[in-house]
């Protein structure tokens, strides 16, 4: 819940979305989301948010990337995630604070625009394409492994099985977590917004 104490600091989140570039600060100010990009500050009225989407978006370095996307009535989007770059090779995660901020933001949007849609996962056509490509890729590895064993190439077959296990470990979360689903107004899904405190 958002703390109603007037002395409590406004819910905020800071992220450096790219290895090279400025940090972006997000802060809730009543029914306005303030976005400080260092060189410019944008103020977005939450009543203008028509859709909130949560997705699983692993990157090249981390398999634990998640994003929240706001789509405004004018067609513009605002996207931020739980990962922040410290350097070219190092990422920072603060899932607990990310969850607190996203939860506060979701509640504020639900109050400002009760008609806003809350959605989990990718758009259905995108998700179906991902599922198809992922399934075909895994099927090809299985076929290669079977052929290798049939031809007596045990080492190649075992290597294919290891590749299959590694691929499944990466592909399955991408498909299962990103399945399209409608959420209740203001709902924040724990599987797409990590960091909820135990018992919270």
pLDDT at residue 61 in the model: 60
pLDDT tens for residues 26-50? 999 999 999 999 889 999 999 999 9
pLDDT for 21: 82
Q: In this predicted structure, what is the pLDDT of residue 79?
A: 96
The pLDDT score that the predictor gives to residue 132 is 94
Low-confidence ranges of the chain (pLDDT < 50): 1-4
- pLDDT for 101 equals 97
Measure the CA–CA gap between 110 and 120, rounded to whole angstroms: 16
Give the per-residue pLDDT at 13. 95
What kind of fold does domain 12-121 have according to CATH? Answer: PH-domain like (2.30.29)
What pLDDT score does 90 carry? 78
pLDDT at position 62 is 60
Give all strands of the β-sheet with 24-29 in edge-to-edge order: 12-15, 24-29, 32-36, 41-45
Q: What integer pLDDT is reported at residue 9 of this predicted model?
A: 80
The CA distance from 27 to 60, in Å, is 28
Rounded to 5 degrees, φ, ψ at 176 are -70, -40
Q: Radius of gyration (Cα) for the chain, nearest Å?
A: 20
Q: What is the pLDDT of residue 15?
A: 93
Per-residue model confidence (pLDDT) at position 200 = 60
CB-side neighbour CA atoms (13 Å) of 28:
22
Which H or E run contains 177?
helix 154-177
Element (H or E) spanning 110, and its range?
Answer: helix 95-112
At 4 the pLDDT is 45
- Alpha-carbon dihedral sign for residues 33, 48, 23, 90: positive
Confidence at residue 119, expressed as pLDDT on a 0 to 100 scale? 98
Domain boundaries of the chain, sorted by first residue? 12-121, 124-175
């Amino acid at each position: 819940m958002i703390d109603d104490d007037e002395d409590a600091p406004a819910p905020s989140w800071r992220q450096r979305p790219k290895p090279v570039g400025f940090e972006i600060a997000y802060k809730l100010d009543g029914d306005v989301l303030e976005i400080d990009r260092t060189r410019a500050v944008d103020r977005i009225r939450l009543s203008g948010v028509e859709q909130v989407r949560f997705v699983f978006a692993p990157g090249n370095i981390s398999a634990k990337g998640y994003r929240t996307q706001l789509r405004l009535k004018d067609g513009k989007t605002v996207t931020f995630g739980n990962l922040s770059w410290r350097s070219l090779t190092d990422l920072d995660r603060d899932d607990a604070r990310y969850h607190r901020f996203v939860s506060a933001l979701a509640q504020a949007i639900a109050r400002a625009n009760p008609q806003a849609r809350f959605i989990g996962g990718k758009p259905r056509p995108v998700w179906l394409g991902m599922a198809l490509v992922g399934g075909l890729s895994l099927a090809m590895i299985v076929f290669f492994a079977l052929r290798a064993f049939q031809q007596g190439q045990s080492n190649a077959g075992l290597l294919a099985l290891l590749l299959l296990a590694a691929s499944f470990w990466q592909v399955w979360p991408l498909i299962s977590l990103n399945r399209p689903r409608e959420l209740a107004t203001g709902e924040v899904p724990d599987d797409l917004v990590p960091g909820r405190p135990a018992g919270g």
